[in-house]
Amino acid sequence: MALSSSWYDKLGAVLATKEAMQQMKRISEIRKVGIIAAMHKKDIETALRKVFSSLEAWGVEVLLQSECAKVLGKMKHCVSDAEIAASDMIFSLGGDGCMLSAVRMAVGHGTPVLGVRVGGLGFLSEVDWQDIDEAVEAIRNNNYLIDQRKLLQATVERCGNTVWLSYGLNDVVVLRGALSQVHMFEVRVDGELLISEFADGIIIATPTGSTAYSLSAGGPIVAPDADVLVLTPVCAHALYVRSIVMPPSSRFSIRAIATKGTEIEAAVMVDGQLTFGLSEGDVVSVSFSDQKANLVRLSKFRFIERLKQKLRWGCRDENATER
């Protein structure tokens, strides 16, 4: 049965109204903005003052971590990390490390995170701190997008019990100790043995994390909208043990096994920040989580442009001699 043009007009009106309501809802919800900052960064105090001033001029309630509040002399704005996590938006001032911390802080709340670069590479950042006024104005006028990224979930199983749980945006790494003897790493995917070899460690990376530690260890660069997981061995003894791209439903089980006559000295590390020491027989389980990171974008994320800008991808040295 053909539908009349008036039906389409009504549908368009309904959708337009729904979209307008969603926009209104998003704007009205941004009443509290939390700030976390990498206080060791050069220019961080200047950047912090500028961001605070810009948000205050907007009229939103600004929530600060204790160290930020002390630096600004705004102790009445000092709140717990839990309150910042439950705010309407989080501004992360610093580099990628601060951004990764903010994303983990927001787990369970779905709070959008804006990365404000203050020095460093800032691959995940969206705006430089000097341009924060324009960014705040765009957000205030609802001119922003949410770039949703999948998070990893890592657990440590010991004697049948879960003794550790964490989430990560970039990667989960199981590594031998810095001064320990070589370890054997056993990796199973969905219960099936994939790797049993000597190595320094095993990396499980998201597409977002493919440009981090995994890349340094010889793994591939993966576009962020590719729904895959990347397994990259670290300094595997066997030349045939290489990085492999796996489907998103994959569940990895990793065990570090000490050589005969030695004790295990290994740890699991999430996003290069959170670590947990492993004991003999511990199993590290890694998979995609139901939790997601919501990254604030002021324009559509252009992955190729970001590669060229941040990693000099495909860019000849401007001083190179023309051939």
Q: What is the Cα–Cα distance from 104 to 89, expressed in whole angstroms?
A: 14
Mean pLDDT calculated for residue range 77-85: 98
- For 20: left if phi > 0, alpha if psi spans -120 to 50, otherwise beta; the answer is alpha
- Chain-centroid distance of CA 206 in Å reads 9
Lowest mean pLDDT among 25-34, 84-93, 264-273: 25-34
Give the whole-angstrom CA distance, residue 16 versus residue 173. 46
- Fold type of domain 30-143: Rossmann fold (3.40.50)
Beta bridge partners of 256: 185
Could you list the active site residues?
96
pLDDT of residue 3: 41
Q: What is the pLDDT of residues 255-277, one digit of tens each?
A: 999 877 677 889 999 999 999 99
Q: Degrees (nearest 5) of the Cα angle 64, 70, 74? A: 60
Each residue of 131-175: pLDDT tens digit?
999 999 999 999 999 999 999 999 999 999 999 999 999 999 999
Structure tokens at 319: 């001083």
SS3 100: helix
Which residues are 60's β-sheet partners? none
Q: Which of the residue ranges 8-17, 125-134, 282-291 would you say has the lowest mean pLDDT?
A: 8-17
Please report the pLDDT score of residue 16 as a whole number. Answer: 45
Give the amino acid at 178. Answer: A
The DSSP element (H or E) to which 68 belongs, if any, is helix 66-72
Instruction: Tell me the three-class secondary structure of 162-219, residue by residue.
Output: EEEEEEECCEEEEEECCCCCCEEEEEEECCEEEEEEEECEEEEECCHHHHCHHHHCCC
Mean pLDDT of the 57-78 span: 97
When pLDDT is averaged across residues 27-34 and rounded to a whole number, the result is 81
pLDDT digit string, tens, across residues 225-240? 999 999 999 999 988 8
Query: Mean pLDDT, to the nearest integer, of 43-67?
Result: 97
User: What global pTM score does this model have?
Assistant: 0.86
pLDDT at res. 11:
39
Q: Which pLDDT value is given to residue 316?
A: 62
Confidence band for 304, pLDDT divided at 50, 70 and 90: confident
Q: Domain 151-291: give its CATH code.
A: 2.60.200.30
Q: pLDDT exceeding 90 applies to what percent of the chain?
A: 75
Q: Inform me whether the pLDDT recorded for 20 exceeds 60.
A: no
% of the chain at pLDDT higher than 70 = 87
* Per-residue model confidence (pLDDT) at position 181: 72
CA nearest 201: which of 178, 221, 225, 175? 175
Would you say residue 14 has pLDDT above 70?
no
Average pLDDT score over the chain = 89
Residues of the chain with CATH 3.40.50.10330: 30-143
pLDDT in tens, 217-227: 999 999 999 99
